[in-house]
Structure 1
Amino acid sequence: MTVDTHKGLVRAAVVTVAITLSGSLLGFVRDLLIARYFGADGGTDAFLVSWTVPETAFPLVVEGAMAFLLVPLFSRALADGREPRDVVAATLPRIVVVLSLASIAVVAFAPWIVRLIAPGLADPALAVTCTRLTALTILTFGVAGYVSAALRAKHVFGAPATIHLASNVGILALIWSLHGRFGIVSAAAGVAVGGALMVLAQLPSFLRHVGLPRRISVRGSSLVTLGAFAPLAVYTLSRQAQVFVERFLGSHLEPGTISHLNYAQKIAQLPMLVALLVCTVTFPTLAKNVAAQQISAARKRVEEDLRTVTALIFVAAAYLIVFAPAVIGLLLEHGAFTAADTDATAAIMRVYAFGLFGHAMVGVLCRPFFTGERPLWFPAMAMGAGLAVNAVLAAVAVPHFGGPAIAAANGIGITLTAVLLLIGMRRTVIAVSLGSLGAASARLGVAAAVAAGAGVLCGRVTHGAVAAFSGGVVMLVVFVAAAHLLGEKVRRGN
Structure 2
Amino acid sequence: MSETVVETASAAPGPPTPEVRGRPFLARAAAGAAGLTVVAALLGLVRDQAVARLFGAGHASDAFLVAWTVPEMAATLLIEDGMALLLVPAFSLALTRRASAAVPGDPVRALVADTFPRLAVALACAGALLIAGAPWVVGVLAPGLEDPGLAVDCTRLTAVTVLTFGVTGYFSAALRAHGRFLGPAGVYIAYNAGIIGMTLALHAVWGVRAAAAGVAVGSVLMILTLLPGFVTLVLRRRVRGTPAPAGRDTAAPLLGAAVLAPVVLFVVSRQSQVFVERFLASSLSDGAISHLNFAQKVAQLPMVLSMMICTVTFPVVARAMASGDREGARRRVERDLALAGTVVLLGTAMVLGYAPQIVEVLFQRGAFDAADTTATAGVMRVYALGLLGHTLVGALCRPYFSSGRPTWYPLAAMGAGLLVTAGAGAALTGRFGVDGIAAANALGISTAAVLMLVGLGSRAVAVRVRAVALSLARPALAAAAAGAAGRLAAPVVPGPALLGLAAGCLLVPVVFFLTARALGAPDAVHPPALIRQRFAHGR
TM range (shorter): over 0.9
Match of 2:72 in 1: 55
1:2 and 1:87, CA in 2 relative to 1: closer, same or farther beyond 3 A? Answer: closer
Partner Cα distance (1:350, 1:155) in 2? 37
Match of 1:372 in 2: 403
| Alignment counterpart, residue 89 of structure 2, candidates 61, 64, 72 | 72
Deviations 1:75-133, CA, capped at 9 Å, x for gaps: 01112235422211111011001100110000010011111111111320001100000
The aligned length equals 494
Q: Alpha-carbon deviation of 1:334?
A: 0.5
Match of 2:160 in 1: 136
- The alignment status of 1:178 with 2:202, answered yes or no, reads yes
Partner Cα distance (2:209, 2:384) in 1? 31
Match of 2:53 in 1: 36
| Alignment counterpart, residue 398 of structure 1, candidates 429, 433, 438 | 429
For residues 454-469 of structure 1, the aligned pairs below 5 Å read 454-463=485-494, 464-469=497-502
Partner Cα distance (1:220, 1:440) in 2? 46
Contact map agreement 1:455 1:472 (CA 8 A) in 2: no
1:271 and 1:217, CA in 2 relative to 1: closer, same or farther beyond 3 A? Answer: farther
Contact map agreement 1:62 1:142 (CA 8 A) in 2: yes
- The alignment status of 1:97 with 2:114, answered yes or no, reads no
Q: Secondary structure at the match of 2:235?
A: coil
Amino acid at match of 1:374: R
Match of 1:330 in 2: 361
| Alignment counterpart, residue 290 of structure 1, candidates 312, 315, 321 | 321
Contact map agreement 1:30 1:168 (CA 8 A) in 2: yes
- The alignment status of 1:154 with 2:186, answered yes or no, reads no
Match of 2:103 in 1: none
Amino acid at match of 1:168: N
Contact map agreement 2:94 2:250 (CA 8 A) in 1: no
Match of 2:515 in 1: 482
- The root-mean-square deviation of aligned C-alpha atoms, in Å, is 2.0
- The alignment status of 1:420 with 2:451, answered yes or no, reads yes
1:219 and 1:241, CA in 2 relative to 1: closer, same or farther beyond 3 A? Answer: farther
Partner Cα distance (2:290, 2:245) in 1? 45
Amino acid at match of 2:213: A
Contact map agreement 2:352 2:487 (CA 8 A) in 1: no
Amino acid at match of 1:480: F
Contact map agreement 1:140 1:195 (CA 8 A) in 2: yes
Partner Cα distance (2:257, 2:65) in 1? 31
Contact map agreement 1:93 1:217 (CA 8 A) in 2: no
Deviations 1:167-217, CA, capped at 9 Å, x for gaps: 001101100100111110000000000110110001111112111699999
Q: Alpha-carbon deviation of 1:253?
A: 0.3
| Alignment counterpart, residue 111 of structure 1, candidates 128, 135, 140 | 135
Contact map agreement 2:107 2:244 (CA 8 A) in 1: no
Q: Alpha-carbon deviation of 1:452?
A: 2.4
Partner Cα distance (1:195, 1:217) in 2? 36
Partner Cα distance (2:291, 2:410) in 1? 30
Contact map agreement 2:32 2:182 (CA 8 A) in 1: yes
- The alignment status of 1:304 with 2:328, answered yes or no, reads no
Match of 1:168 in 2: 192
Partner Cα distance (2:519, 2:412) in 1? 37
- The alignment status of 1:278 with 2:309, answered yes or no, reads yes
Amino acid at match of 2:88: V
Partner Cα distance (2:19, 2:474) in 1? 29
Match of 2:15 in 1: none
Contact map agreement 1:169 1:194 (CA 8 A) in 2: yes
* TM-score (normalizing by structure 2): 0.88
Q: Secondary structure at the match of 2:430?
A: helix
Partner Cα distance (2:20, 2:250) in 1? 38
Q: Secondary structure at the match of 1:202?
A: helix
- The alignment status of 1:341 with 2:365, answered yes or no, reads no
Q: Percent identity?
A: 47
Q: Secondary structure at the match of 2:522?
A: coil
Structure 2: tracts of 5 or more residues without a match: 1-17, 99-105, 524-529
**4+ residue segments displaced more than 4 Å:** 1-4, 212-222
* TM-score (normalizing by structure 1): 0.96
Structure 1: tracts of 5 or more residues without a match: none
Amino acid at match of 2:467: S
Q: Secondary structure at the match of 1:162?
A: helix
Deviations 1:313-362, CA, capped at 9 Å, x for gaps: 11111110111111111100000001110111111111000011111110
For residues 356-367 of structure 1, the aligned pairs below 5 Å read 356-367=387-398
Match of 1:227 in 2: 258
